[in-house]
């Protein structure tokens, strides 16, 4: 296990990101194809995943299409990211910190529509309160999901109403903390007899890790354009 930070868990070092700066970073992303849906005909996309830190891990040959919303909120003290804690009885990723999201259904027009629908179902977030600004790289999990992270600003007046079946808690974390490379720890666990590596970002009493942390590392890379 390698420590990735000399800061105590939950420490946010000022970075100074602003809403205008974040929007600009997505507007000037060096490779515009990375923001497109993996199911579109626009061209190739960048695929990330749990295999990035585990070269011998092969992605599922036919992963399930999914989408999540990466909700940013502008607060007087700075930008935050809204995250959820999944309930303990779910079939996949139970008890883990995640973005609101899920499988893409036939009723969804595209991945953005799926992410917004899932956010409304899981935390009661009306799509009209979200300003979508872009996408991160597609992320493939070892559990067989191909996830499109859709990034958007949420109206600061929104109050989460978690679905008790899926979401145990909704909470916010300072964006400054999440994009600071000093807080991007590399840790490991044994899974099915093999040592697996992953990113982790402990925040107060929450342990942010795995796919969610990997997507946040990607977000930090995109936002580095503004620093």
Q: Which domains does the chain have, with CATH numbers?
A: 19-206+218-226 (3.90.79.10)
CB atoms near residue 222 (< 10 Å): 22
Tens of pLDDT, residues 189-223 = 776 677 788 899 999 999 999 999 999 999 999 99
- Cα torsion 121, 126, 129, 132 to 10°: value is 50
Q: For residues 79 and 72, is the Cβ–Cβ distance under 8 A? A: yes
105: left (phi over 0), alpha (psi -120 to 50) or beta: beta
Tens of pLDDT, residues 93-146 = 556 899 999 999 999 999 999 999 999 999 999 999 999 999 999 998 888 899
Backbone angles phi, psi at 39, to 5 degrees: -105, 10
Q: What is the pTM of this model?
A: 0.85
């Amino acid at each position: 296990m390698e420590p990735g930070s000399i800061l105590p868990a939950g420490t946010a070092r000022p970075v100074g990101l602003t809403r205008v700066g974040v929007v600009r970073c997505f507007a000037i992303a060096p490779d515009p194809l990375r923001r497109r849906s993996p199911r579109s005909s626009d061209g190739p996309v960048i695929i990330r995943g749990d295999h990035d830190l585990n070269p011998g891990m092969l992605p599922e040959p036919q992963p399930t299409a999914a989408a999540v919303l990466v909700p940013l909120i502008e607060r007087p003290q700075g930008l935050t990211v809204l995250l959820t804690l999944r309930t303990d009885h779910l079939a996949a990723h139970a008890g883990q910190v995640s973005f609101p999201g899920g499988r893409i259904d036939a009723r969804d027009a595209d991945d953005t529509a799926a992410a917004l629908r899932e956010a409304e179902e899981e935390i009661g977030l009306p799509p009209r309160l979200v300003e979508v600004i872009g996408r991160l790289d597609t992320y493939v999990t070892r559990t067989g999901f191909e996830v499109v992270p859709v990034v958007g600003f949420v109206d600061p007046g929104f109050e989460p109403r978690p679905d008790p079946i899926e979401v145990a808690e909704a909470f916010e974390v300072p964006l400054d903390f999440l994009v600071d490379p000093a807080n991007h720890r590399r840790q490991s666990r044994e899974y099915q007899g093999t040592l697996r590596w992953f990113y982790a970002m402990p925040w107060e009493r929450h342990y942010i890790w795995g796919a969610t942390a990997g997507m946040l590392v990607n977000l930090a890379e995109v936002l580095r354009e503004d620093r």
